[in-house]
Amino acid sequence: MVEDHFDNPDAIRKRFRTELGRMVGRQGIPSPNELAQQAKKSKNCVVSTLRDTGKKHDAETVYARARRGVVIMGGISRCKGGRGWHIACAGGFVIHKDGVIVSNVHVLDAFRKTEAIGVMTDDGQVFPIQSVLAADRYNDVAVLKVEADNLTPLPIAPSVPVGATVYCISHPALNCAGTENAFYTFTNGMVSGRFHLQFDGKTPLDVLVITADYAKGSSGGPILNAHGAVVGIACETLGIADEDAGCQLTWKFVRPASSILPLLQGERSTK
């Protein structure tokens, strides 16, 4: 059977923007800045997650099943002149049906000056973020809570070898300004490296490098194995250029699941 559904990015953005606009100033919802402040504190939580089933699926099945557990994160700010809202979007994914979601700390930082932030599920439900349950700024991972009890969680696999097939579901920007997104874009590739790398003079990090494409707007998107389990989270890209030949390679850096799972075991106290 031929798939005849085409997503309408403009309609998705409009709905998300409208619903977030209704949350501005609502009592009981932390401000974006308050959430960013919560993420500055290194802490853990206790969350049970689904295990990798070990059953391999074709790409179509991986996408169809995983899409329901992928969310759009968004932050709105006033347009110039004070009329209407501008929305910026990123990604995230559900790890527990009761509203536990994973994204990046840098996404919260990017949205801290907005008027309201929240998440939108594949079926159009929009929720404000109620709290940051756990955060690891070092690994750029944040565990968030929304008030929901019917979400579709994705399983998590503790590791993935070099050469393994991986997929990414994310919301890359369609233009340089980031005012349009190709929501729920699906790309595939493989794990091309597992490295202990030093970024900007900081303490070295464990990272995966993958060939599945993603770009601006994709932060927080899940990286999935052939079983549909999360093996990492999209974080950043780095273009490698040659003075004469121009850009020769774009590294896709992923924080592995091994940087997510320790946050869910409640072993560290809040600093």
Taking the CA atoms of 190, 195, 200 and 202 in sequence, report the sign of the dihedral they define.
positive
What CATH number corresponds to the domain at position 100? 2.40.10.10
Could you tell me if residue 159 is inside a domain? no
- 26 shares its domain with 142: yes
Could you tell me if residue 110 is inside a domain? yes
- 144 shares its domain with 75: yes
Identity of residue 160: V
- 40 shares its domain with 103: yes
Q: What is the DSSP string of 37-93?
A: HHHTS-B--B---PBP------HHHHHHHHHTTEEEEEEEEEPTTS-SEEEEEEEEE
Torsion on CA atoms 84, 90, 96, 98, rounded to nearest 10 = -10
- 148 shares its domain with 185: no
- 182 shares its domain with 65: no
Closest CA to 62 of 256, 228, 178: 228
- 196 shares its domain with 133: no
Digit-coded pLDDT (tens) for 177-204: 778 999 999 999 999 999 998 877 678 8
Q: b or e along 128-144 (b: 16 or more beta carbons within 10 Å of the residue's beta carbon)? A: bbbebbbbbbebbbbbb
- 220 shares its domain with 247: yes
The answer to whether residue 219 is catalytic is: yes
Give the domain-ending residue among 131, 154, 177.
Answer: 154
pLDDT of residue 167: 98
Could you tell me if residue 269 is inside a domain? no
- 88 shares its domain with 184: no
The answer to whether residue 5 is catalytic is: no
Q: What is the DSSP string of 172-238?
A: -BSSTT---B-TTEEEEEEEEEEEEE--TTSPPEEEEEE-S---TT-TT-EEE-TTS-EEEEEEEEE
- 186 shares its domain with 126: no
Rounded CA-CA distance 109/105 in Å is 6
pLDDT of residue 84: 84
Could you tell me if residue 267 is inside a domain? no
What is the total count of domains within the chain? 2
pLDDT of residue 2: 52
- 40 shares its domain with 59: yes
pLDDT of residue 176: 80
The answer to whether residue 196 is catalytic is: no
Which residues of the chain carry a pLDDT beneath 50? 1, 267-271
| Active-site residue, from 103, 218, 219, 259 | 219
- 250 shares its domain with 228: yes
Containing H/E element for 132? strand 126-136
The separation between the first and the last C-alpha atoms of the chain, rounded to the nearest angstrom, is 54
| Active-site residue, from 106, 109, 159, 213 | 106
pLDDT of residue 65: 97
pLDDT of residue 238: 85
Measured CA to CA in angstroms, residue 196 lies from 99, 168, 179, 249, 254 at distances of 32, 22, 34, 19, 12
- Domain extent, residue 45, equals 9-154
Give the domain-ending residue among 123, 154, 185.
Answer: 154
| Active-site residue, from 140, 170, 171, 259 | 140
